[in-house]
Structure 1
Amino acid sequence: MSTSIWVTFVRHGGSQVRRGALLKTRILQDNTRIISASYCPTVGRRALSSRFDPDGSGRPATWDTFGIWDNRIDEPIQLPPSIKYGKLIPRINLSKVGCSTQLVKRKENEDRFNYAKLTDDVLYFAVYDGHGGAGAADFCNRFMAKKIKEFLKEEEDLEKVLTKAFLEIDKAFARHAHLSVDATLLNCGTTATVALLRDGIELVVASVGDSRALLCRKGKPLKLTIDHTPERKEEKNRIRECGGFVAWNSLGQPHVNGRLAMTRSIGDLDLKSMGVIAEPETKRVKLHHADDGFLVLTTDGINFIVNSQEICDIINQCHDPAEAAQVLTEQAIQYGAEDNSTAIVVPFGAWGKHKSSEVSFSFSRSFASSGRWA
């Protein structure tokens, strides 16, 4: 065992480090064999048939070739994080991320989405669903990633990074709206659901409004967000304590001051004094790539017409994330969605592993497509 592994073991200890050290030892051994193979052709043929180059192609080993996951995504292993966490962690390739947005029965598509690599170890995924105009959603789409990147330089905790970024973006948008000649900016707002993935294993999600994030684990949905609506007791109490009120429309939907269907958002400056806040709720999850198929972010055009299990089932029927995002947004329209539909699908280690034989369908969903009960 090398000196560096012993230093790591002494510094951290624990079973995870022991597994990490073992993994690194095996990798170093395989690398040594491959290097030595360049000097001896007969040894080289044997070395290149090792599990880190099973087909002798010379290409880097991928987590798919280990036979641990039944999937159709072929990506290299991230070596430093795998050693750090003591388990195999695949590289999440942004070129494999699927995304789709559909204009439905609206004059304008106010949904926005984005994803990017912010640092060497942090990826960013986001959906924004604007209302009252696209101004707030556009502003978030332009500046949220930059603001998060700034806070990453001074803060290690991703939940704190996202909370600070949301609040700062809301303040920045308020300054922008008050200085703009466009008066509509004062009354527009947006949901925001943002996910950060560090080292391919640490997933943190923050949200305001009713756009959602869910993780598909063993074919079942794990909800990472909770809608901010006046139906939630703590949200309704805050609105009332701040002088606002909740009114129900003819469809039975509660609205803040009879206008806004959510209790948290970025923008909606005229309702900020009434308890509508931009502070997000956050959720931290450690990924299990042997079980986790994908992360999906969706706007309410999908959420209120397709339930979480149906989202998992629809995506699991698809060959790749690009197709999955397209099919999901189109399926929402076929089911009777009346709002714009947007989805981002991020594949993980168990992509393609958990499939359902059929996708359920309810004929009653078309009657509830414009409501909040689907």
Structure 2
Amino acid sequence: MITRSCYHSLRIPAQHHLRRNTAKYYHDYTRFATPGGIVRVPLNSPKILGVVSSRGNRSHQEDHYAFATLSLPPESLAASIKKHHGVDWDASAVGEPLSREVTFVGIYDGHGGSAVSQYLRQELHGMFESVDKEHIPELYQWARELGGYFKRFRGGVLAPWIDPGVKDTPILDTEARATQAFWEADRHLSMDHVAQQCGATASVAILQSLDAPATAFFASDKLSVTIAHCGDTRVVLCAVDGGKAYPMTTTHHAEAHVEAARLRRMMGSSLVTDSFGESRWMGALANTRSLGDLQFKPFGVTPEPEVKSKLLKGSEWAYMIFFSDGISSILSDDEVVDLARDAPDPKAAATNILSFAEELGSDDNATVIVVPLAGWGKITGPDKTKGLRDYRRSQAVGSERQKRM
């Protein structure tokens, strides 16, 4: 583990703190069309997004989160929908300003301190709006200068834009926009020495209703969901049919198949098992993808997110849940989705998950975000993990009694 802490705020030089294009259009409410006009609903309502967070028994809170409604170019959104879903989306059927709106939800789990996760909470959603493909060649050169692993880096998803001599490059779709935003965040973090020795994992969702007239994400019949993910925070969908859990993220640990193949191909093996039996890359990091951790970047730790997109029929999905490893280290995906199924609102659902993890002994920082979808409250079939949870609760209670004797 990284032993040096960095709990103070990052101090990015003022001239670098904001992107070249500093205009921001994001806001903290969602809008949708009704026969009487456009309605605004605040995202911080417990009925719209359920959020709970706990420090556990740690001295500092390193988990952070953010949510916002972003304004993105309709042509970029249309290109993404065509690429990932094969659907021709007509922005003119929705009209301004709703054709530009997407909902952003992000969860950030810091390690070695809270500075990087706090920076992401404050800045990453703004970067999603402000990234510019004209800046990718400069960003690519910065990545190559990290050395080591990145000497062989060829741009990944951003490869079509890395040559400054190429004209008429494609428009940035959502995958490229997310990838550039993660890279830009890492470049800005590199300007402060604090981010050399601490970092954060991140899972971000972009939700776009494809309905016309426009509907909010929680009522959308046709919803595009794009997840950009680095590390071991998790995003899981819950289906109405039987309450099945559908994971949208994989864990970026060195022993994971995708990460092991990537790192061994480029770096050989630097996997060390600690005294607790946990595998750590370079003997220090559990995660092989993260933001910050600049000292480990030459050794293959990358901020490049894994991006997945899924087109949902809203009525077939009850909710989406984001959670940090203070939850996932204790509960399975199935237990997490089942704990939310009978809650009266998203905030109560998130509270149920956190409370049960703490009952079972979670003492880490823990955060849960529950995002309701059109199938909220309509899950069919039995609670699959109730018997297991009852047994685990009884064991935890018995263990606690023995400690007190």
**TM-score under structure 1 normalisation?**
0.69
Mapped contact 1:92–1:347 kept (Cα < 8 A): no
- Kindly state the Cα deviation for residue 138 of structure 1 after the two structures are TM-superposed: 0.9
Deviates more, 1:285-294 or 1:229-238: 229-238
CA distance in 2, matches of 1:150, 1:77: 23
Instruction: Specify the SS of the correspondent of 1:329.
Output: helix
Report the Cα distance in structure 2 between the residues aligned to 1:142 and 1:173, rounded to whole angstroms.
13
Task: Give the whole-Å Cα distance in 2 for the aligned partners of 1:91 and 1:254.
Answer: 47
Any conservation in 2 of the 1:127–1:194 contact (CA below 8 Å)? yes
Q: Partner residue of 1:11?
A: none
CA distance in 1, matches of 2:119, 2:31: 35
Which of residues 189, 196, 218 in structure 1 aligns to 2:206?
196
CA drift of 1:252 comes to 1.5
> CA–CA distance in 2 between the matches of 1:127 and 1:310?
20
Amino acid in structure 2 at the alignment position of 1:142: Q
Matching residue within 189, 214, 221 for 2:236: 214
Q: Which amino acid aligns with 2:190?
A: A
Tell me the alpha carbon deviations over residues 224-279 of structure 1, each in whole angstroms, 9 at most, x when there is no partner: 00000011134234434336611001222100111100110001111000000000
The equivalent residue for 1:236 is 260
Q: Using the TM superposition, give the Cα deviation of residue 79 of structure 1 relative to its aligned residue in structure 2, in angstroms.
A: 7.0
Alpha-carbon displacement from aligned partner over 1:283-333 (angstroms, at most 9, x marks no partner)? 101121111001111100111111111111100021100111122112111
Q: Map Cα deviations across residues 23-81 of structure 1 (whole Å, 9 max, x no partner).
A: xxxxxxxxxxxxxxxxxxxxxxxxxxxxxxxxxxxxxxxxxxxxxxxxxxxx997579x
Rounded Cα–Cα distance in structure 1 between residues aligned with 2:176 and 2:195: 28
- 1:319 aligned to 2:344? yes
Letter in 2 for 1:307: S
Cα shift at 1:139 = 1.0
The alignment of Structure 1 onto Structure 2 pairs a total of residues equal to 277
Q: Residue type of the partner of 1:191? A: T
Establish whether residue 225 from structure 1 lines up as the match of residue 249 from structure 2.
yes
Greater RCO between the two (CA within 8 Å, min separation 6)? 2
Task: Compute the RMSD of aligned alpha carbons.
Answer: 2.6
Cα offset, 1:185, TM superposition: 3.1
Map Cα deviations across residues 116-164 of structure 1 (whole Å, 9 max, x no partner). Answer: 1112421100000000001110111111010001139995521221111
**Corresponding residue for 1:14?**
none
* 1:159 equivalenced with 2:181 (yes/no): no
Q: CA deviation at 1:92?
A: 8.3
Q: Give 2:184's aligned amino acid.
A: E
1:4-83 aligned at under 5 Å gives the runs: none
- Secondary structure of the 2:131 match is helix
Aligned to 1:260: 285
Aligned mates of 2:133, 2:69 — CA distance in 1: 15
Query: Which amino acid in 2 is paired with 1:295?
Result: M
SS at match of 1:297: strand
| Equivalent of residue 148 in structure 1, options 120, 128, 131 | 128
- Are residues 300 and 92 of structure 1, via their aligned partners in 2, closer, same or farther at CA, if it must alter by over 3 Å? farther
The corresponding residue for 1:97 is: 49
Pair 250,217 (structure 1): closer, same or farther in 2 beyond 3 Å: same
2:392 corresponding residue in structure 1: 363
- Stretch moving more, 260-269 or 346-355: 346-355
Q: Secondary structure at the match of 2:105?
A: strand
Partner-residue secondary structure (3-state), 1:118: strand
The one-letter code of the counterpart of 2:344 is: H
Which ranges in structure 2 are unaligned for 5 or more consecutive residues? 1-29, 72-97, 135-170, 210-216, 218-222, 397-405
Distance 2:184 2:200 in 1: 15
Matched position secondary structure for 2:263: helix
Residue 170 (1) aligns with residue 180 (2): no
SS in 1 for 2:315: coil
CA distance in 1, matches of 2:339, 2:69: 27
Question: Tell me, what secondary structure is at the counterpart of 2:280?
Answer: strand
Name the SS for the 2:367 alignment partner.
strand
Secondary structure of the corresponding residue to residue 287 of structure 1: strand
Q: Is the 8 A contact 1:207 1:280 kept in 2?
A: yes
Paired amino acid for 2:59: K
Larger Rg: 1
Paired residue secondary structure (1:192): strand
1:336 to 358, 361, 377: 361
Per-residue CA distance 1:144-192 (angstroms, 9 max, x = gap): 01000113999552122111111111111112x14xxxxx432000000
Letter in 2 for 1:185: A
5+ residue gaps, structure 1, are 1-74, 81-89, 179-183, 367-374
Distance 2:251 2:122 in 1: 24
The partner residue of 1:293 within 313, 318, 340 is: 318
In the alignment, the residues of structure 2 paired with residue 194 and residue 315 of structure 1 have an alpha-carbon distance, to the nearest angstrom, of: 20
- Say whether the 8 Å CA contact 1:92–1:348 is kept in structure 2: no
Structure 1 segments of 4+ aligned residues over 4 angstroms from their partners = 75-80, 90-93, 152-156
Q: 1:313 to 1:78 in 2, by over 3 A?
A: farther
| CA contact 1:325–1:344 (8 Å) conserved in 2 | yes
Q: Classify 1:129/1:112 alpha carbon distance in 2 versus 1 (closer, same or farther; 3 Å).
A: same
Please state whether the residue corresponding to 1:112 is helix, strand or coil.
Answer: strand
Q: Does 1:111 align with 2:133?
A: no
